Amino acid sequence: MKKCEYCAKEISYHEMYCRDECQTKANDFYDMRDKISKIIGVFNGICVMSIGIGLFVFSFLKEVGAYMVAIPMVILGILFLLFPVPADVMIQKYKIEKSLKITRIIALILLALGIIATIVTIIAI
């Protein structure tokens, strides 16, 4: 059986969504994703590059490198918690609703790790 594009409930092969509500939510999600995907991509790229550079700097300057890793992790966690934008592959596999939940869980983990790293860095100073 085919599954609803939003909630993953089984539907007939002639339909795309199980309810009008699912179609509305899916359309809202795709509109939001189209509007913010470029901005999210820029922030994501900057933060990921900063984490990589921070790991390199950490080997020379512990304090600066730790902050260069921890702060972008917090920023990414907040960003993906507020604006979850799962990858298309994840949406195809899990559908929209579950993909959003998984993305928010990953964002919470990233946020927690960033906060813990920041606290440990402050205490170590």
Examine residue 24 and state whether it is found in any structural domain, yes or no. no
- Determine the pLDDT at residue 94: 94
Q: Is the pLDDT of residue 97 over 90?
A: yes
Q: Which helix (H) or strand (E) holds 56?
A: helix 20-58
Mean pLDDT rounded to a whole number for the chain: 92
Strands (E), 1-125: 2-3, 10-11
Examine residue 72 and state whether it is found in any structural domain, yes or no. yes
**Which residue matches tokens 């409930």?**
9
Examine residue 7 and state whether it is found in any structural domain, yes or no. no
Decide which of 124 and 88 is more confident. Answer: 88
Examine residue 44 and state whether it is found in any structural domain, yes or no. yes
Number of structural domains (the chain) is 1
Query: At 122, is the pLDDT very low, low, confident or very high (cuts 50, 70, 90)?
Result: confident
Query: pLDDT digit string (tens) for 85-94?
Result: 999 999 999 9
Query: At 63, is the pLDDT very low, low, confident or very high (cuts 50, 70, 90)?
Result: confident
Mean pLDDT, range 69-91, rounded to an integer: 93
Q: Do 76 and 47 form a contact (C-beta atoms < 8 A)?
A: yes
* Percent of the chain at pLDDT exceeding 70: 99
Examine residue 67 and state whether it is found in any structural domain, yes or no. yes
Residue 76 CA to residue 70 CA, distance in Å, equals 10
Examine residue 18 and state whether it is found in any structural domain, yes or no. no
Which pTM does this prediction carry?
0.88
Range of the domain at 47: 37-124
Q: Do 53 and 86 form a contact (C-beta atoms < 8 A)?
A: no
Angle at 103 between CA 100 and CA 107, to 5 degrees: 135
- Backbone region of residue 83 per phi and psi (left: phi > 0; alpha: psi in -120 to 50; beta: other values): beta
Q: Which two tokens stand for residue 42?
A: 């820029």
**Which residue matches tokens 């901005």?**
39
Mean pLDDT, range 15-33, rounded to an integer: 94
Q: Is the pLDDT of residue 20 over 90?
A: yes
Q: Is the pLDDT of residue 13 over 90?
A: no
